[in-house]
Every structure is written in structure tokens, then in C-alpha cells.
């Protein structure tokens, strides 16, 4: 019997995960699910591919990000899901040294890697797959949307999947919740990741559970490009960059003007950090010494730039954000910049840094209810998923608009993959 030859893939914008069926020893027919360990100790992996042009190799996930941060010659491809449905799909992009690769082939390479790791861990050939998909790959353009799904299906077949099915990501997230209830409910699925905050209002319940086609159960869907990486950027600017001189003034005899801020914005923007290290940019910064009244801060800035510490600081900003949201305050040691340098950051400061972003995201949740034509009180549960829903101030702000909704959450990084696995077991099991 070949009922173990399937998997479920959550191919996310920022991170991806894979679920496999697992037979329970006491019951040969009952399948439970397990998540594939995609990288040592991790069941979710950044959706990233790095093309190393020095030795013409490819690597994936955290390894890809590390190769890019370490400054290897090549090209890091992230957010590769967003090219689906665009005109870029069939075009080629330069990866360095005159080598180029088609965007759709980047997607295919990443899927092939996920499949290899899953097969290695299950010890079986995997032929059938359920893949997650957003409610709309491309907003308001049905033709392009269909084209995006078709391209993803083609990529999945190219890596050796014979059967390819899709389920909507918010439905997948809700399946986890749906298995726990015994009457029909309306759920707001809040999926807040690194790059986008997506909201869907989904009809769930025992009657819906038996249906394979769930499109009609999504009453509304709405998303904005504001999420975890925007929070990290804001915390970086508020907590870390001032120690390098952001917002500080020039000498009084020159009119005490504020120092130029663009270098700090670039140093806090993940994909622009490496541009600050460019030879001409560093030369320009060296010329700016006289603009700083506080030479200590200027020296720290030059240390960060010449030692290429920008990505480390971005990671520190993310951990400050998490720590503050859990404990209310943090004293972060920045001894990679200077011995015994500590920055203190509190939830009051974090609230100030993130407030307008959090309000916009909470407003998008309310807008989703308006689009569905339902009053906020009709929502019986909010299902939180995605890495950024661990931020209490954010989940509280969203929940505040829905007074009667109970808060539910699965594994922030795995609930979509798990839900897709539940669906795959119904479809193929």
C-alpha cells in the first residue's frame, strides 16, 4: 500500500515548512503528521536560495542567508514566491560572473531541495503533494492568479511530483482550529509573517470539514505589506542606531545640524546593508567625520561599517524586540561594537517605535470584517499564525476590535504546514 507517498508543503514568502504523514504503530490505518526537520534543529526554513558564483554551487535556507551575510560572491534570492504570476517568471536574472538563472528555475530548485530533504527523512519516494497558496497570488487579476498557480504546479511536477493539489493558506491554518469545534463559527485568521500581514474571515465547523473545495468558506481576504521585518527595522532605528550617531548633532560652530541619516536607514534595512560596505560608500563616510560633534558615536559607526556588523545588529534588533515583548525591558550588550557597550530598551520605547505600524495592521483586520460584511461581534475566534503573532502588543491590538472572539493559536511557524498535512491526509490518505 502506497498511502505514505505524499507530503504537504507550506511554500511561504519568508519561511517554508513540510509535513509528512506518520503511521501510528497501534493503528496501521491512522495517520498522524510530523514536520520535516529541514535544517538541523529547525522545522521551518527561510525561503532563500544563494547562488555562489565562485564555486558554482547553490545553497538554501539559513545556509543561503549565512553565505550572503559572510560576503561570498554571488546572489541571494528571497521572497521568490512573489514572482509567481508576474512578468518576471520566465525572465532571467544575473547571479554574477555572467551567469544567469530564470526566476521560475529558482522556485523549482528550492522545491526540489524541500522534496529531497523530505524523502531522505521519510525513506520513501514522495509522489503526491498538497501545496499551500494565498487566496490571491495577484490581487484583482484572475488571469494572472491562475497563471501563478499553474506555474507553481509546473514547478512541482518538474521536481517529480505526479499529483499536485492546492489548498488556501488561511483554510489550512483554520483546519487546525476546526478540528476542535462542534458547531459552525466564523474565524478571523491572522497570518503575520516577516513581510506581510494577511487576514481572512473563514467559515469553519463540522459540516465544512468534509468538503475538499473550501473557496466559498473564505468570506473575505485582505493583506498589507507591513509585518515583522518592519518591526525589526523600527526597533533597530530606535534602540541601536542612536548609539552609532543617528539623530545626533554636528559641531555647534557649524550650526549644530543633525548628521545625515540615510546610512542608518540603509544599515537597518536587511537587503540594503551590504550596499553600505561598498568602497565608494565607505570613502564617503570617512569624509563625514567633521559633521559629528560626538566622535565616539562616529567611530562606532565606522567600526560597524568596516567590520561589516550590520546583519549582526539586525539580528540583535530582532532579539531586543522579542525580549521586550516578553519581559518588558532589555539591556542588550553590544560588545561587538565596543567593550561593555549596553543599550537599554523598554516596552514604553518599543510601543512608541511600533505603535503606528501596529495600528495599521489592526485596522487591516477590521477592514477584513467590513469586506466580509460582518460585524466584529460575529467573529467567534481569532486564529493567530505566522512568526510575528508572538508579539503580545500586536495580537492584543488586533483582538481589541473583536470583543467576543476567543484567541486561538497553533505553532506560529507550523500551523499552515500542519493544516495542509491534515488536508493532504483527507485527499490522499
Across the 429 residues of the chain, what is the mean pLDDT of every consecutive 10-residue run?
80 93 60 90 95 91 93 88 85 85 93 97 95 89 93 97 96 88 94 90 89 91 92 97 96 87 96 92 96 96 96 95 94 95 97 96 97 97 89 93 91 89 91
The reported pLDDT for the residue numbered 28 is 47
CA distance linking residue 298 with residue 211, whole number of Å? 62
The reported pLDDT for the residue numbered 29 is 47
For residue 337, what are the domain limits?
229-349
Looking at residue 39, the DSSP 8-state letter turns out to be: B
* Within-domain flag for 5: no
Output the CA torsion sign for 327, 39, 44, 37. Answer: negative
The reported pLDDT for the residue numbered 26 is 56
Output the CA torsion sign for 152, 124, 48, 60. Answer: negative
C-alpha cell at 66: 549565512
The reported pLDDT for the residue numbered 48 is 95
CA distance linking residue 9 with residue 55, whole number of Å? 30
CA distance linking residue 429 with residue 21, whole number of Å? 9
* Within-domain flag for 423: no
Q: Are 245 and 301 in contact (CB under 8 A)?
A: yes
CA distance linking residue 249 with residue 294, whole number of Å? 8
* Within-domain flag for 416: no
Give every CB contact of residue 84 below 8 A, 6+ residues apart in sequence: 107, 137, 148, 149, 151, 152
Q: How many domains does one find in the chain?
A: 1
* Within-domain flag for 300: yes
* Within-domain flag for 238: yes
The reported pLDDT for the residue numbered 177 is 87
* Within-domain flag for 6: no
> Judging by beta carbons within 10 Å of its beta carbon (0-12, 13-18, 19+), is residue 415 exposed, middle or buried?
buried
* Within-domain flag for 305: yes
* Within-domain flag for 164: no
CA distances from 204 to 53, 77, 132, 211, 367 (A): 49, 36, 18, 11, 20
Give every CB contact of residue 198 below 8 A, 6+ residues apart in sequence: 134, 135, 169, 170, 189, 190, 191, 192, 221, 222, 223, 386
Amino acid at each position: 500500500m502506497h498511502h505514505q507517498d505524499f507530503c504537504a508543503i507550506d511554500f511561504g514568502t519568508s519561511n517554508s515548512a513540510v509535513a509528512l504523514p506518520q503511521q501510528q504503530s497501534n493503528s496501521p490505518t491512522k495517520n498522524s503528521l510530523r514536520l520535516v526537520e529541514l535544517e538541523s534543529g529547525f522545522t521551518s526554513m527561510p525561503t532563500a536560495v544563494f547562488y555562489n558564483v565562485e564555486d558554482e554551487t547553490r545553497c538554501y535556507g539559513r545556509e543561503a542567508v549565512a553565505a550572503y551575510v559572510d560576503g561570498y560572491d554571488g546572489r541571494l534570492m528571497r521572497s521568490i514566491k512573489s514572482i509567481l504570476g508576474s512578468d518576471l517568471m520566465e525572465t532571467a536574472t544575473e547571479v554574477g560572473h555572467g551567469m544567469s538563472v530564470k526566476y521560475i528555475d529558482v522556485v523549482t530548485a528550492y522545491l526540489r531541495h524541500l522534496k529531497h530533504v523530505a524523502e531522505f527523512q521519510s525513506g520513501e519516494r514522495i509522489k503526491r503533494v498538497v501545496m499551500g497558496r494565498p487566496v490571491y497570488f495577484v490581487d484583482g487579476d484572475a488571469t494572472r492568479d491562475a497563471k501563478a498557480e499553474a506555474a507553481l504546479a509546473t514547478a512541482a511536477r518538474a521536481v517529480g511530483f505526479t499529483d499536485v493539489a492546492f489548498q488556501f493558506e488561511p483554510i489550512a491554518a483554520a483546519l487546525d482550529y476546526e478540528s476542535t469545534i462542534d458547531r459552525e463559527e466564523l474565524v478571523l485568521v491572522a497570518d503575520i509573517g516577516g513581510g506581510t500581514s494577511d487576514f481572512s474571515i473563514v467559515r469553519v465547523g463540522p459540516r465544512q470539514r468534509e468538503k475538499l473545495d473550501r473557496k466559498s468558506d473564505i468570506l473575505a481576504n485582505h493583506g498589507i505589506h507591513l509585518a515583522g521585518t518592519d518591526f525589526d527595522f523600527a526597533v533597530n532605528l530606535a534602540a541601536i542606531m542612536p548609539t552609532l550617531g543617528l539623530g545626533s548633532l554636528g559641531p555647534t560652530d557649524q550650526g549644530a545640524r543633525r548628521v545625515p541619516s540615510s546610512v542608518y536607514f540603509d544599515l537597518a534595512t536587511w537587503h540594503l546593508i551590504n550596499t553600505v560596505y561598498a568602497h565608494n560608500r565607505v570613502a564617503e563616510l570617512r569624509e563625514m567625520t567633521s559633521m559629528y560633534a560626538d566622535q565616539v558615536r562616529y567611530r562606532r559607526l565606522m567600526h560597524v561599517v568596516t567590520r561589516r556588523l550590520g546583519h549582526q545588529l539586525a539580528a540583535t534588533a530582532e532579539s531586543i524586540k522579542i525580549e521586550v515583548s516578553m519581559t518588558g525591558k532589555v539591556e542588550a550588550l553590544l560588545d561587538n561594537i565596543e567593550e561593555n557597550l549596553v543599550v537599554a530598551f523598554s516596552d514604553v520605547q518599543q510601543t512608541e517605535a511600533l505603535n503606528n505600524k501596529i495600528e495599521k495592521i489592526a485596522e487591516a483586520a477590521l477592514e477584513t470584517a467590513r469586506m466580509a460584511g460582518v460585524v466584529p461581534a460575529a467573529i467567534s475566534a481569532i486564529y493567530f499564525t505566522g512568526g510575528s503573532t508572538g508579539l503580545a502588543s500586536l495580537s492584543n491590538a488586533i483582538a481589541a476590535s473583536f470583543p467576543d472572539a476567543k484567541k486561538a493559536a497553533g505553532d506560529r511557524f507550523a500551523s499552515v504546514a500542519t493544516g495542509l498535512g491534515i488536508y493532504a491526509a483527507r485527499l490522499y490518505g
